[in-house]
């Protein structure tokens, strides 16, 4: 249901109550964007994002903030305020909401993505409110106003947070698009009104702070893409981020204008188009779209394939095509493959592997660069940052969303441009206090912890659990089992020692049998142990024996029973 905002109320609090702003993620790092605004023992959460793991974290699908302790210290949770639907802003929400439920406020596109995500993880979502741009959400002592922004996903917003102690403008991810696909540009009238109310602190995206000028518009890549697609001798395979609906619509419109058929291969891409159709952002899909099973019915030069796999993901469509595992699509030498997306830092090696496999099969691979402009960013360049800052005239400027060097760059950019403007840099867990036009960093600091989501069970793990699992994967693990008589200290059954995940399995099996005999003799000389002490002794004995012989730190479990 559409959220109908209440009339704005000003909270009746004493002037001694400060507004406190605490990043639990998104500062000193890319991803895991989560910011808490607290006042008078109540708080709201702006975004709750995740980040993808690096290649060393086997079996982990995402990393999320562990906020249970921090939320308890902050007081009563009033609401989740979501700026837009990218994973680094919503990826952790189902896991956090399950433990700490509260009303969720999101714009239409974001709300649809959240509903799908909550269903995926089996979390009932009871209170999601759809807001429109310029709506005000009253969750005392906060009043939150949504401000439309351009980004690489529909319905992205900034939020203006008003309290009796001070006001904060939280930019979210944004850019100043002069030719947006969505007819809504940045609302300068609303921005000017907010400026007149007064912005005590502006918190701004740092992702592209190093880049000069304004961020190019989605409009700027239409001609380059049209030129490639219209002159292609065969099929065009185009990989882009599934969340980038503006890019999907650009490709859809080009196919329509050039009389091409569009194949969408990738679950998340299909979901994006379905949401676009349901929200009335795209129409006449049936005339353009064909199923992947139908591609044999059309000449190659009439087909455009929109595929997942911009980052070389193992099971993505493009990777399966490159490794010849895709059932319907086989590369031929007239194919052109476009990477209409940036490489996320850390994924370069995987992307290069896919590119090399495609080239080896004869495809012409074109990646986004300054020469072939087939991708534009959704994040603010330096001039976008200056544009927003100049209009809002904040008393204090705080860079967010980025690693340390990017936060520094954003801060230096504003200091150089606006000589009299105060700036401050926050680390994750630090507390900024604002009261009556004054600000300071508090002495208190919140713990910043992380959980690791298992890709099979979707259960978040603590760091020590992940560490144990990774060690087991590297060194294997063993299990000691058996039954011991308490009175005679003799083994009634066992001891049996088995090893798993060990490369030298035949050798370890023989060694396990030998260890069992040694352990049987060893136990005769021990004192009258409890069951727990028997377990600890058996584990320790086997672990030390394995390390002495093989230099492996094998994890040892036990199933020892005393009767």
pLDDT at position 509 is 63
196 in the same domain as 226: no
Last residue of a domain, one of 349, 367, 385: 367
- Whether 270 is covered by a domain: the verdict is yes
413 plus 439 within the same structural domain = yes
> pLDDT tens-digit profile of 189-210?
999 999 999 999 999 999 999 9
Q: Render pLDDT for 220-234 as a digit per residue (tens, 0 to 9).
A: 999 999 999 999 999
Q: Are residues 411 and 310 part of one domain?
A: no
The predicted pLDDT at position 1 comes to 34
Do 137 and 225 sit in the same domain of this protein? no
Task: Report the pLDDT value the prediction gives residue 10, as an integer from 0 to 100.
Answer: 41
Long-range contacts at 360-364 (CB < 8 A, ≥ 24 apart): 361/322, 361/324, 361/331, 361/332, 361/333, 362/331, 362/332, 362/333, 362/335, 363/237, 363/331, 363/332, 363/333, 363/335, 363/336, 363/337, 364/335, 364/336, 364/337
One domain for residues 343 and 395:
no
561 vs 162: CA distance, rounded Å: 62
- Does 127 reside within a domain? yes
198-234 in b/e form (b: 16+ CB < 10 A) is: ebbbbbbbbbbbebeebbbbbeebbebbeebbeebeb
Phi/psi of residue 209, each to 5°?
Answer: -60, -25
> Could you tell me the pTM of the whole model?
0.83
Q: Is residue 54 part of a domain?
A: yes
Do both 30 and 158 map to the same domain?
A: yes
Instruction: Give the three-state DSSP class for 90.
Output: helix
Q: Is residue 434 part of a domain?
A: yes
**145 domain residue, yes or no:** yes
153/494 Cα distance (integer angstroms): 61
Instruction: Round to whole Å and give the CA distance between 215 and 186.
Output: 14
Bridge partners (DSSP) of residue 498 are 479
Under-70 pLDDT residues of the chain: 1-15, 55, 181-184, 370-371, 468-475, 501-510, 524-528
Are 208 and 222 found together in one domain?
no
Strand partners, 562: 484
| 35 and 80 fall within a common domain | yes
Q: Are residues 262 and 397 in the same domain?
A: no
Report pLDDT digits (tens) over 443-498.
Answer: 999 999 999 998 888 888 887 777 766 666 666 778 888 888 877 778 888 888 88
| Cα(38)–Cα(506) distance, integer angstroms | 60
Task: Look at residue 8 and tell me if it is in a domain.
Answer: no
What whole-number distance in Å separates Cα of residue 431 and Cα of residue 24? 10
Q: What is the CATH number of the domain that holds 497?
A: 3.10.20.580
Q: What is the CATH number of the domain that holds 231?
A: 3.40.50.10710
Residues in the chain: 563
Q: Are the C-beta atoms of 158 and 171 separated by less than 8 Å?
A: yes
| pLDDT on residue 182 | 56
**Which among 454, 485, 514 is the end of a domain?**
454
pLDDT of residue 472: 63
Beta bridge partners of 520: none
Shortest CA distance to 386 belongs to which of 397, 378, 370? 397
Residue 323: inside a domain: yes
Pairing of strands 201-205, 42-46: unpaired
pLDDT, residue 505, reads 58
What pLDDT does 13 receive? Answer: 43
Which of 338, 367, 396 is the C-terminal boundary of a domain? 367
Q: Is the same domain home to 494 and 553?
A: yes
Q: What H or E segment, with its residue span, contains residue 390?
A: helix 382-392
Q: Are residues 64 and 130 in the same domain?
A: yes
Look up the CATH number of the domain holding residue 400: 3.60.15.10
- Contact 375/221 with Cβ under 8 angstroms? yes
Strands of the sheet with 396-400, listed across from one edge: 136-139, 142-148, 157-162, 167-170, 201-205, 396-400, 422-423
The CA–CA distances, whole Å, from 9 to 6, 77, 131, 145, 199 equal 8, 19, 18, 13, 18
Residues 199 and 321 in one domain: no
Residue 6 resides in a domain: no
Q: CA nearest 323: which of 287, 290, 360?
A: 360
Q: Structural domain tally of the chain? A: 3
Range of the domain at 107: 19-213+377-454
């Amino acid at each position: 249901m559409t959220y109908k905002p209440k009339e704005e109320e000003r909270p009746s609090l004493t002037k001694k109550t400060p507004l406190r702003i605490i990043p639990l993620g998104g500062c000193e790092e890319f991803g895991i964007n989560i910011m808490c605004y607290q006042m008078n023992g109540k708080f709201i959460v702006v975004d709750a994002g995740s980040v993808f793991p690096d290649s060393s974290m086997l079996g982990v699908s995402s990393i999320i903030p562990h906020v249970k302790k921090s939320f308890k210290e902050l007081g009563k949770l009033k609401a989740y305020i979501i700026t837009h639907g990218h994973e680094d802003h919503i990826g952790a929400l189902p896991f956090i909401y399950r433990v700490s439920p509260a009303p969720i406020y999101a714009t239409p596109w974001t709300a649809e993505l959240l509903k799908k995500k909550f269903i995926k993880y089996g979390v009932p979502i009871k209170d999601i409110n759809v807001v429109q741009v310029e709506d005000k959400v009253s969750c005392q002592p906060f009043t939150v106003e949504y401000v439309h922004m351009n980004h690489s996903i529909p319905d992205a917003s900034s939020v203006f947070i008003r309290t009796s102690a001070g006001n904060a403008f939280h930019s979210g991810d944004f850019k100043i698009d002069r030719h947006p696909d969505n007819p809504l540009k940045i609302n300068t009238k609303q921005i000017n009104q907010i400026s007149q109310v007064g912005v005590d602190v502006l918190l701004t995206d740092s992702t592209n702070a190093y880049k000069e000028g304004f961020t190019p518009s989605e409009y700027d890549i239409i001609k380059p893409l049209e030129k490639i697609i219209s002159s292609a001798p065969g099929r065009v395979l185009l990989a882009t981020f599934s969340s980038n609906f503006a890019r999907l619509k650009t490709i859809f419109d080009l196919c329509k204008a050039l009389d091409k058929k569009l194949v969408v291969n990738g679950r998340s891409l299909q979901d994006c188009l379905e949401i676009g159709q349901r929200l009335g952002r795209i129409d006449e899909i049936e005339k353009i779209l064909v199923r992947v099973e139908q591609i044999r019915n059309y000449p190659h030069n009439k087909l455009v394939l929109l595929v997942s796999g911009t980052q070389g993901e193992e099971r993505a469509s493009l990777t399966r095509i490159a490794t010849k595992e895709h059932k319907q699509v086989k590369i031929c030498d007239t194919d052109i493959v476009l990477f209409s997306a940036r490489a996320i830092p850390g994924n370069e090696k995987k992307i290069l592997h896919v590119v090399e496999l495609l080239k080896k099969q004869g495809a012409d691979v074109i990646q986004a660069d300054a020469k072939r402009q087939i991708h534009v960013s959704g994040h603010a360049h330096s001039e976008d940052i200056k544009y927003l800052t100049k209009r809002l005239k904040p008393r204090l400027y705080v860079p967010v969303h980025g690693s340390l060097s990017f936060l520094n760059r954003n801060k230096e950019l504003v200091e150089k441009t606006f000589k009299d403007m105060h700036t401050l840099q926050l680390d994750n867990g630090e507390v900024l206090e604002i009261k009556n036009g004054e600000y300071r960093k508090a002495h208190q600091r919140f713990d910043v912890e992380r959980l690791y989501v298992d890709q099979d069970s979707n259960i978040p793990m603590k760091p020590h659990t992940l560490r144990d699992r990774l060690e087991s994967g590297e060194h294997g693990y063993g299990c000691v089992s058996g039954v011991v008589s308490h009175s005679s200290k003799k083994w009634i059954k066992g001891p049996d020692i088995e090893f798993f995940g060990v490369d030298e399995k035949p050798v370890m099996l023989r060694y396990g049998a030998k260890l069992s005999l040694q352990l049987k003799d060893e136990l005769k000389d021990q004192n009258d142990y409890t069951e727990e002490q028997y377990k600890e002794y058996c584990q320790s004995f086997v672990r030390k024996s394995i390390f002495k012989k093989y230099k492996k730190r094998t994890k040892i479990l036990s199933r020892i029973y005393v009767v």
